[in-house]
Amino acid sequence: MNGKPLVSIVSAGLSKFGKLDGMYGREIFAEAAKEAYDRCPNLNPKKDIKALFVGHMGEAYEHQGHTGATVADWAGLLHVPATRTEAACASSGAALRVAIQAVLSGLSDVVMVGGVEKMTHRSTAEVTEYLAMASDFPYEQWQGMTFPGLYALMATAHMHDYGTAEKDLAMVAVKNHYHGSMNPKAHIQKEITLETAMTSRVVAWPLKLYDCSLITDGASCLILTKPELAKKYTDMPVNIVGSGQASDAIGLYERESLTSLAAAKIAAKQAYDMAGVKPEDVNVAEVHDCFTIAEIIAYEDLGFCKLGEGGRIVENGETRLGGRIPVNTSGGLKSKGHPVGATGTAQAYEMYLQLTGQADRRQVIGAKIGLTHNVGGSGATATVHIYRRD
């Protein structure tokens, strides 16, 4: 496609992220959908929206499957074909790619795509078990391995190979909490000190409490259409110009490298090539910081720095607001929160705000090109999307 818009985002919505007591996931999704409708008064949802795609990881949280039809009803789209996608924490990143394909196919001129997860009513032990289902059962889950443990293996390998330090990990957390302190919808809206991050309790060494993303409730959605129809709905469309998705072995033990995600590198190359841009053209990015080491690895996989230099660029302030390539201006999974099914399109929501100049105190001045990077599990799925405001 080489830079030609695939689809246009004409509106977007995000629920409050956090511990949303007394709300079902369907109600949380309805909150995100309402914002998307309110932002786009020229849209008649019941008349215009022809399909719904929703990312949702697990039935276990609410003992509820059949998520597509459930949230379609609560979003006021009762008779619209609704499909759930599941790709662990990349569920709505995958949903976004499917929604793009639906528009490009010509079957649907306007679609809604989003994601949702309700998690906080479960205990930490239960959530850890449910999330672990995205790892290999016989060789990881059954042996007692959890995702903090898997990402701790990546972190220690990165430290061994490249000299990355615990301080580098902590600085990712400090940066993202700083960004999240300016996001009124973030789960935790407060800054932390380097000392707080460094001295927090160990979860799986070298990962400490502040190296781990949050257990969060939340929902997100976008409304997509053909680029030639976008002006019918808004004067500020954001075009998606690149889309990539790849898979890898589900078990970390099967991978060629512990310090890079092959699926993310492949998906990024697909998206860059399709968009006709290079890493240095990206003005702002949202990456999958489920653990702080994941953000450092993402810098390298996406080409924002050379292999092994991820720790250095966060230490130099290059990925902070005002830096060379601001990353996770929303606060990321670390501060905004990680309702797993909602994360991919929540990242796209931040791109929509940034590229239309609506990100308030966390606005990246003059941002024209954005990128989102959404990972499932320990990297068995990865999606990368590139956005441009023309």
Annotated catalytic sites, by residue? Answer: 89, 338
Question: Degrees (nearest 5) of the Cα angle 27, 29, 30?
Answer: 65
- The owner of tokens 């991050």 is 197
Phi/psi at 92 (nearest 5 deg)? -85, -20
CA dist 350 to 209, 222, 251, Å?
25, 11, 31
Say which amino acid occupies 34. K
CA 177/CA 328 separation, integer angstroms: 10
- Residue 106's alpha-carbon distances to 99, 181, 344, in angstroms, are 11, 41, 24
Half-sphere exposure of 353 (CA within 13 A, CB side): 25
The token duo for 121 is 């009513």
How far from the centroid of its chain's Cα atoms is residue 255's Cα?
23
Rounded to whole angstroms, the Cα distance separating 343 from 289 reads: 11
